[in-house]
């Protein structure tokens, strides 16, 4: 009799949140998901010995779990949760309010009445940590600190008598309760990797792996492959092409897996299901025996449209094409390929959380059987692959979806016509493999790579990666082994897929800014590790719309004296003004050192002013002002200037200003270049520059009105941005995104804009 074999592959993944230079974790999701999901997903199978599954553990997740287990992880989120409430600073209280409510409001926050009460109070303040802080007393913070951690505890961990007693207590937690929870967290996280290893050793599960830092392998090999799966897709300006990095990422993943679990994995779920023929050749050369991706890739490869009827079922002919295991053979490359049933996988990920556990488990079993039956009727064995994320979906299920999974696994185990097997078991038992001699490049999303490349933000991030990779290639040989190692590790981290997941129009989260800043920090670390200065653009966000700044345009000419000492209100009246948004927490790596920036022109000069958030920083730093002039066509800057000012011991030590990319300055502290140029630093930083340096055509008088009236295209507006650098890294910038823009108009026209 033909057999129906069900493959369930859970993909367990978190990006690399750790900054290798500071050692600090930018986001807490490795720790929280290690508490909530990873242990129980495997432990649950103890109840169903005949249900075998595959768990794909991404190496960047494994190594971060190890960091927490050893106690070496520096996690500011854990620090705030652990600190006595009475000792929290104002910044820490706001940080706690901003981040400790980041949980599902129904199934996690709503499960605990006191947590829900505090959440409602926070929401009543407009979800503003700054506004809500005054409504939270120390006992409120202690309760929040305890419950925000318990809400992430695995269902198995909640059965512990001491944890259960805390839950029954409900509120008014003590410092002793708080310490108990924090101590218990490390003990529970330490259970994650051993439970996987033990289950794999007894054959209950198969462990597969992914490229180390979860990069999109086909794009590492060649970003131009994106236009193969999406003809006409806008590509980055620079073609990134490093198949050697793709091989390195794969090899490192395999080696870590063998080191941790004592066996080399047979199979790989490539990051985001991203495959290409070049990737398969690399994987085959490393001894990988199977890879998995989405049905859409198979459809493109064989010219099949896997369309479904109103009940979600395939036509019998196309079902036979999908529900089998393929053998890819091309030249010297051979690989077993499994293609996920997109529909069944998405039912678990996005649909069943809205149904009762009994209904959803029954529906899933019916769908599996009905999908397979037309193929079974022909006498062929059937393999139905269900592959999906093994962590994020459970926040949307009551009690982490455990009742649904128990009912589903029980039904699998009881059905004599079904085998629930690992991928390798399915390959060993399968007959009549499908044949593939070519493979279309693609991922699990629409069989293309458009989520990670093609949008302006995506392409900009690839260009930044390209430049950092080139700097490494050009300078690594002159660097020490330690420098090369750190720089290359940071490059590999920056190659991960998760950064571009949040760029572009497709995805958004409350942590968009955190992901953007961490990505640029990893790239900046590459330059710093090699003894080079990171480029100015890494001080500016790639992600648009991250902040909510206060901005006012210029409404009159200004002629302020440049002293940097006493701010004369009326001298800067009419200037464009940008005020920073400090509502984001500062403890997780973002430092707010700049408060506001001013800029304006008169007939002949450009003026700028930068106010600090408090006093001038005590640590030495460099201020960078980038200024561009643009014509009305908006195609490209006409001129670009860079002003750099070095501050030591809170005194302006040196400065220079010149055309961007050119070594010879137009003026410097050693050669000021006349009275038109002046810089000053005291309580704030101020500067004055001649406008003639920024106009596209020579204007003898430097008069804006004459430049505007010229017959050839000239600059019609200026763009400015300020950034502060410490130890070769950008630590703050104004504007946080975008630019301060100035219109090059006569004073009469400028003043009319104010009305």
* pLDDT reported for residue 737: 64
- pLDDT of 510 reads 77
Question: Is 139 among the domain residues?
Answer: yes
Q: Model confidence over 636-674: pLDDT tens digits?
A: 778 899 999 999 999 999 999 999 888 889 999 998 877
pLDDT tens string 51-76:
999 999 999 999 999 999 999 999 99
Q: Are residues 735 and 671 in the same domain?
A: yes
Higher model confidence: residue 243 or residue 505? 243
Domain at 477, CATH number: 1.20.1430.10
Other CB atoms within 10 Å distance of the CB of residue 507: 12
The residues pairing with 641 across neighbouring beta strands, listed in sequence order, are 627, 659
Q: What angle in degrees, to the nearest 10, is found between the helix axes of 192-201 and 243-261?
A: 80
Q: Mean pLDDT across the stretch 131-138?
A: 93
Residue 614 binned pLDDT confidence (cut-offs 50, 70, 90): confident
What is the predicted pLDDT for the residue at 504?
Answer: 85
Q: How many domains, in total, are found in the chain? A: 3
Could you say which of 189, 215, 231 is where a domain stops? 189
Altogether, the residues listed in the chain come to a count of: 755
Q: What is the pLDDT of residue 591?
A: 62
Q: Does residue 512 share a domain with residue 635?
A: no
Range of the domain at 126: 69-189
Spatial CA neighbour of 530 closest among 586, 491, 571, 495: 491
Q: How high is the mean pLDDT of the chain?
A: 91
Q: What is the pLDDT of residue 735?
A: 83
> Other CB atoms closer than 10 Å to residue 184's CB: what's the count?
19
Same domain, 679 and 554: yes
Which DSSP string corresponds to 89-158?
A: -HHHHHHHHHHTT-S-IIIIITTSHHHHHHHHHHHTTTT-HHHHGGG--HHHHHHHHHHHHHTTS-HHHH
Tens of pLDDT, residues 311-332: 778 999 999 999 999 999 999 9
Residue 449 has phi, psi (to 5 degrees) of -120, 20
Is the model's pLDDT at 418 over the cut of 70? yes
- Neighbour tally for 554: CB within 10 Å: 24
Q: Do 514 and 598 have their domain in common?
A: no
Mean pLDDT, rounded, for 280-290:
98
Contact of 453 with 239, CB cutoff 8 Å: no
465 and 566 co-located in one domain: no
Cross-strand bridge partners of residue 642? 626, 658
H or E element, residue 385: strand 382-389
pLDDT reported for residue 673: 76
Q: Look at residue 708 in the predicted model and tell me its pLDDT.
A: 46
237 in a domain, yes or no? Answer: no
Specify the range with the lowest mean pLDDT, choosing from 513-517, 638-642, 734-738.
Answer: 734-738
| Distance in angstroms (rounded) separating the CA atoms of residues 675 and 690 | 10
pTM listed for this prediction = 0.80
342 domain residue, yes or no: no
Residues 609 and 468 in one domain: no
Report d(CA 552, CA 572) in Å as an integer: 13
Residue whose C-alpha is closest to residue 588's, from 20, 75, 31: 75
Which candidate, 134, 119, 100, 129, places its Cα nearest to that of 32? 100
Confidence of residue 704 (pLDDT cuts 50, 70, 90): low
Taking the C-alpha atoms of residue 656 and residue 648, their distance in angstroms, rounded to an integer, is 15
In a domain? residue 595: yes
């Amino acid at each position: 009799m033909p057999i129906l074999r069900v493959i369930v592959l859970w993909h367990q993944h978190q990006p690399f949140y750790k900054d290798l230079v500071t050692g600090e974790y930018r986001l807490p999701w490795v720790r929280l998901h290690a508490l909530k999901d990873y242990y129980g997903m495997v432990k649950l199978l103890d109840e169903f010995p005949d249900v075998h599954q595959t768990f794909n553990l991404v190496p960047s997740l494994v190594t971060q779990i190890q960091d927490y287990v050893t106690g070496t992880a520096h996690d500011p989120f854990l620090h705030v949760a652990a600190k006595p409430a009475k000792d929290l600073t104002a910044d820490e209280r706001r940080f706690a309010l901003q981040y400790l409510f980041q949980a599902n409001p129904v199934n996690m926050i709503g499960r605990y009445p006191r947590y829900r009460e505090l959440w409602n109070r926070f929401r009543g303040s407009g979800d503003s940590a700054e506004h809500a802080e005054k409504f939270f007393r120390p006992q409120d913070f202690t309760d929040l600190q305890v419950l925000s951690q318990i809400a992430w505890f695995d269902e198995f961990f909640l059965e512990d008598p001491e944890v259960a007693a805390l839950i029954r207590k409900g509120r008014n937690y003590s410092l002793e309760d708080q310490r108990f929870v924090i101590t218990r967290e490390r003990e529970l996280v330490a259970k994650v990797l051993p439970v996987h290893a033990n289950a794999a050793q007894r054959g209950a599960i198969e462990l597969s792996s992914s490229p180390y830092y979860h990069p999109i392998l086909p794009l590492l090999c060649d970003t131009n492959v994106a236009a193969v799966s999406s003809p006409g897709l806008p590509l980055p300006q620079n073609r990134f092409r490093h198949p050697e990095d793709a091989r390195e990422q794969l090899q490192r993943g395999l080696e870590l897996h063998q080191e941790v679990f004592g066996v080399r994995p047979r199979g790989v779920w490539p990051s985001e299901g991203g495959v290409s023929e070049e990737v398969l050749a690399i994987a085959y050369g490393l001894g990988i025996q199977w890879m998995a991706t989405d049905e859409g890739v198979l459809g493109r490869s064989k010219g099949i449209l896997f369309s479904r009827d109103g009940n979600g079922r395939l036509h019998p002919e196309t079902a036979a094409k999908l529900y089998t295991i393929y053998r890819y053979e091309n030249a010297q490359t051979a690989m077993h390929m499994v293609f996920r049933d997109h529909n069944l996988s998405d039912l678990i990920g996005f649909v069943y959380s809205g149904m009762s556990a009994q209904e959803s488990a029954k529906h899933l079993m019916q769908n599996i059987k009905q999908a397979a039956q037309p193929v079974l009727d022909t006498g062929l064995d059937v393999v139905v692959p269900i592959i999906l994320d093994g962590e994020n979906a459970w926040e949307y299920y009551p009690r982490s979806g455990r009742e649904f999974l128990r009912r589903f696994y029980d039904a699998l185990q009881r059905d004599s016509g079904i085998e629930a097997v690992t991928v390798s078991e399915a390959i060993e038992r399968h007959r009549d493999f499908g044949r593939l001699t070519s493979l279309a490049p693609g991922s699990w999303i629409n069989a293309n790579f458009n989520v990670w490349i093609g949008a302006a933000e995506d392409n900009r991030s690839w260009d930044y990666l390209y430049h950092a990779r080139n700097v490494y290639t050009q300078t690594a040989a002159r660097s020490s082994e330690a420098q090369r190692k750190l720089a290359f590790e940071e490059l590999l981290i920056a190659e991960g897929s998760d950064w571009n997941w949040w760029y572009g129009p497709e995805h958004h989260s409350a942590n968009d800014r955190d992901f953007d800043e961490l990505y640029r920090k990893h790239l900046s670390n590459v330059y710093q590790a090699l003894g080079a200065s990171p480029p100015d653009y890494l001080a500016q966000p790639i992600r648009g719309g991250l902040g909510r700044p206060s901005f006012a345009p210029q409404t009159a000419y200004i002629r302020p004296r440049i002293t940097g000492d006493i701010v004369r209100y009326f001298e800067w009246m009419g200037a464009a003004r940008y005020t920073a948004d400090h509502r984001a927490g500062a403890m997780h790596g973002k430092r707010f050192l700049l408060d506001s920036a001013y800029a304006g022109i008169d007939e002949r000069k450009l003026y700028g002013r930068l106010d600090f958030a408090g006093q001038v920083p005590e640590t030495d730093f460099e201020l960078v002002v980038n200024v561009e002039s643009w014509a009305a066509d908006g195609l490209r800057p006409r001129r670009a200037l860079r002003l750099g000012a070095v501050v030591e011991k809170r005194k302006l030590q040196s400065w220079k200003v010149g055309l961007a990319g050119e070594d010879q300055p137009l003026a410097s502290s050693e050669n000021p270049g006349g009275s038109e140029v002046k810089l000053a630093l005291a309580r704030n930083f101020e500067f004055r520059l001649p406008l003639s340096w920024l106009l596209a055509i020579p204007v003898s008088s430097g008069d804006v009105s004459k430049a505007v009236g010229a017959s050839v295209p000239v600059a019609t507006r200026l763009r400015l941005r300020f950034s502060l650098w410490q130890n070769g890294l950008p630590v703050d910038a104004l504007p946080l995104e975008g630019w301060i823009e100035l219109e090059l108009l006569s004073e009469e026209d400028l003043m009319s804009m104010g009305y």
